[in-house]
Amino acid sequence: MNLQSSKKGTAAVWGGELESFFKGATTPPIVNSVTYAYHDLDEWHEVSLGKKEGYIYSRNTNPTVQVLEEKIRVLEGGEAATSFATGMGAISNTLFALLRPGKRVVSLKDTYGGTSRIFLDFLPGFQVQVTLCDTTDHEQLEAEIAKGCDLLYLETPTNPTLKVVDIKRLAAAAHKVGAVVVVDNTFATPINQNPLKLGADLVLHSATKFLCGHSDAMGGVLTGRKDLVEAVFRFREINGASLAPDPAYLIARGMKTLELRIERQNTSALKIAQFLKAHPKVMDVYYPGLPTHKGHEIARQQMSGFGGMMSFALNGNYDQVKKFLTSLKLVHLAASLGSVSTLAGPPRTTSHVELTEEQRRQLGIPESLIRYSVGIENVEDLIGDLTQALNSL
Ligand SMILES: *Cc1c(COP(=O)(O)O)cnc(C)c1O
């Protein structure tokens, strides 16, 4: 059976699980074995040379971890997949494996905080040239790409103001100059957006977020063009940022309900965004599903759902943000996102904690902004909770 042609809900459940497991187990065993024994030295040698399928050492490959890798591969439509200890492991291994001194990266000002740190603090030290463009300025991005570029790195929708960039348009520009296109698809998830189908060469995720979905395991995944995934895998094997079997099991288990969760979160988030948009104490709502959102048209073309992430600015100052957030009951005031439970926080304590107030202003992040990751709770309860917290202001 070929899961590549099946629907996502099916691929999420059966990906990596079509073969039977140890003693007929119907869930993937957590293989905590570091090493794998051989009775036959010739076979061992063949496997270590990669001429025969098998396992040697769990820093390289592991049967439980491979279940997860296969799930993301079929969900994104990649040729190959690999995984990492965290999402930042996926991002840093990809960038350091594919770039060399003298190469040039073009990316966005609004990438995830940790990714920006790689671009601004680490890659320049290795003589990699980094150009970060205004996130939604497609003309500037195309002009910078046309000057010559080896790697185009995109993220859409972005953190925390949910800006949207046109993957198809920018991937076409990048391919004209022979650049590799990498997309961080964490916010959208493979249910709502498939960058490889829009022209990207590689797509990566912080599996810690929606893929795991329960805030109880960390991981990162990468899928796409086989030659590129293999190049990154060879680096990760040696650099050692491998995913362990226990978190791989939890993430793979979480992924079985990915479609159910995302459909729920898409619907709830849209209702909440509409509710907030109409509320007098809310100044602005940033959600790509709203027709008033600047990226709505592009989002409609490249996404099949608008996701569970949004942000909104209160009519008021940071004191009001504090009062509002601490009045909420059905929420964890915490970093991270994409969990079954609703999470919220201001960018100044979550995604953009390293930045100064001035830097946040330059990125268009108001001090009264709240990032809100919609969980799978009943949406009427969430709206009720938001209502009472807004009334307390
Ligand atoms: C959280 C996140 C990351 C980093 O993932 P970790 O698992 O925390 O290392 C990267 N990109 C985006 C968009 C994220 O939200």
The CATH fold assigned to 3-255 is Aspartate Aminotransferase; domain 2 (3.40.640)
Phi, psi of 214 (to 5 degrees): -125, 10
Single-letter residue type at 291: P
Active-site residue 166, yes or no?
A: no
Give the three-state DSSP class for 307: coil
Instruction: Return the pLDDT at 52.
Output: 95
* Predicted confidence band of residue 100 (pLDDT cuts 50, 70, 90): very high
Nearest CA to ligand 1 atom 1: 206
For residue 367, pLDDT beyond 90: no
Please check whether residue 191 is in contact with residue 378, taking contact to mean a CB–CB distance below 8 angstroms: no
Residue count of the chain? 393
For residue 177, pLDDT beyond 80: yes
Listed by start position, the domains of the chain span 3-255, 258-391
Q: Strands of 253-300 (E only): list them.
A: 282-286
Catalytic residue among 38, 59, 294, 323: 59
CA-to-CA separations, 351 to 15, 50, 112, 124, 335, in angstroms, rounded: 32, 41, 7, 22, 7
Dihedral of CA 115/121/123/124: which sign? positive
Instruction: Return the pLDDT at 157.
Output: 98
Active-site residue 184, yes or no?
A: yes
What CA–CA distance (Å, rounded) separates 346 from 354?
A: 13
Task: Find, among 151, 141, 148, the residue nearest to 119 by Cα.
Answer: 151
Does any ligand 1 atom lie closer than 6 A to the CB of residue 113? no
Nearest CA to ligand 1 atom 6: 87
Comparing 3-255 with 258-391, is the CATH topology the same? Answer: no
* Predicted confidence band of residue 242 (pLDDT cuts 50, 70, 90): very high
pLDDT digits (tens, 9 = 90+) for 14-45: 999 998 899 999 999 999 999 999 999 999 99
Closest atom of ligand 1 to 209 CA is 1
What CA–CA distance (Å, rounded) separates 351 from 356?
A: 12
Task: Find, among 288, 294, 114, 128, the residue nearest to 206 by Cα.
Answer: 114
Active-site residue 209, yes or no?
A: yes
What CA–CA distance (Å, rounded) separates 141 from 170?
A: 8
Does any ligand 1 atom lie closer than 6 A to the CB of residue 87? yes
Q: Which helix (H) or strand (E) holds 239?
A: helix 226-239
- Which tokens go with 147? 């000057």
CATH code that applies to domain 258-391: 3.90.1150.10
Active-site residue 112, yes or no?
A: yes
Instruction: Return the pLDDT at 167.
Output: 98
Please check whether residue 63 is in contact with residue 25, taking contact to mean a CB–CB distance below 8 angstroms: no
pLDDT digits (tens, 9 = 90+) for 114-160: 999 999 999 999 999 999 999 999 999 999 999 999 999 999 999 99
Which segment of 172-176, 208-212, 364-368 scores lowest on mean pLDDT?
364-368
Q: Is the peptide bond before 160 cis (omega within 30 degrees of 0)?
A: yes
- Sequence-distant (6+) residues with CB within 8 A of 289 are 266, 269, 270, 273, 296, 299, 306, 307
Nearest CA to ligand 1 atom 2: 206
Does any ligand 1 atom lie closer than 6 A to the CB of residue 96? no
For a mutational test of ligand 1's pocket, the pick from 161, 209, 339, i.e. the residue with the most ligand atoms closer than 8 A to its C-beta, is 209
* Predicted confidence band of residue 366 (pLDDT cuts 50, 70, 90): confident
* Residues pairing with 205 in the sheet: 221
What CA–CA distance (Å, rounded) separates 373 from 189?
A: 13
Instruction: Return the pLDDT at 15.
Output: 96
Mean pLDDT of 259-263: 98
pLDDT digits (tens, 9 = 90+) for 50-86: 999 999 999 999 999 999 999 999 999 999 999 999 9
